[in-house]
Amino acid sequence: MSRRRQISASDAPFRVVSHTVLAIWSVVVITPLAWTLLSSFKTTREIFASPFSLPSNWSFENYRSAWSREGFGNYFLNTVVIVGSALIIVMTLGSMCAYVLARFRFPGSRAIYYLMLAGLTFPVFLAIVPLFLLMRDFHLLNKQPGLVIVYVAFALPFTVFFLYPFFKRLPDEIAEAAAVDGASEWRTFFQVMLPMARPGMVSVAIFNFLGLWNQFLLPIALNTDQDNYVLSQGMSRFASQAGYAVDFGSLFAAVMITVVPVLVMYIVFQRQLRGSVAQGTLK
């Protein structure tokens, strides 16, 4: 049996197995979400009656209630502003820092790298009360810029750690060519190295966006003014406030309000992600 035939023969079974496994996983992922969507149209009584029943009345009453009465419209806007600002700042600072650490050798560069790793490793709520006091001393407590700064600081190690291998893998020759041609360090970074690290940047930006959007512990501790609440806080307040008489219909609607925009943004954005990844490989 020739090697070629042997290899071809393995194509079909492998394809069937792959599709089966991935399809099963897709069902496992989608079912809970579809169920949440369905439940967001049901009354609490209907939700507890049966997990499969359809809502007797398809109305957006749960959504209206979540958006205005429960304040999710306001929380939504706050989240967009805070996460948007933090994301821009952390991507700029993080890529700069990762670039320096990955491509320059100076005393202490390894130490800084491991300090970043340590920052990534330490459990956040070990720091939460000292951080609370620090923010109070800086008069940044319960203020949106304060939360932005903390988001940036805590997302920074993740950003540096994930971008580091991307910058490290870039060929030295191109940076050296730029240097020989007289480009400044600034220009070399922004016009030569940063565009080349774009696949990494896009992935890390997506992960950071989602991580910050879903941030829970930091806003709970540092952003207690209800006017400044972000979505995850609204969610937890919503759930705890309702207590034993939880209005699960509105809660599921609030979940959809939180989840759908990010889901849509991800679906739109992932095309660009794929494009930039392909571009990076073709180069």
Question: With respect to another protein, which residue has the nearer C-beta, 39 or 78?
Answer: 39
Question: How far from the centroid of its chain's Cα atoms is residue 36's Cα?
Answer: 21
Distance CA(203)–CA(209), nearest Å, equals 10
Contact between 234 and another protein per CB under 8 A: no
Q: Are 175 and 188 in contact (CB under 8 A)?
A: yes
In our burial notation (b when 16+ CB lie closer than 10 A, e otherwise), range 144-156 reads bebbbbbbbbbbb
Contact between 213 and another protein per CB under 8 A: yes
Q: Are 209 and 4 in contact (CB under 8 A)?
A: no
Contact between 268 and another protein per CB under 8 A: no
Task: Tell the smallest beta-carbon distance from residue 188 to another protein (Å).
Answer: 9
- DSSP state, 242? H
Contact between 22 and another protein per CB under 8 A: yes
Site residues for another protein, 113-152, by CB under 8 A, read 115-131, 134, 149-150, 152
Return the residue of 87, 147, 231, 253 that touches another protein, per CB under 8 A: 231
Please name which of 222, 223, 220, 245 lies closest in space to residue 235, comparing C-alpha atoms. Answer: 220
- DSSP state, 228? G
Return the residue of 5, 13, 52, 139 that touches another protein, per CB under 8 A: 52
Task: Tell the smallest beta-carbon distance from residue 199 to another protein (Å).
Answer: 6
Contact between 165 and another protein per CB under 8 A: yes
Quickly tell me which residue has 């700064």 as its tokens: 149
Contact between 2 and another protein per CB under 8 A: no
Q: Give the per-residue contact string, 188-207, with another protein (x = CB under 8 A; - = no).
A: -x---------xx--x---x
Site residues for another protein, 70-89, by CB under 8 A, read none
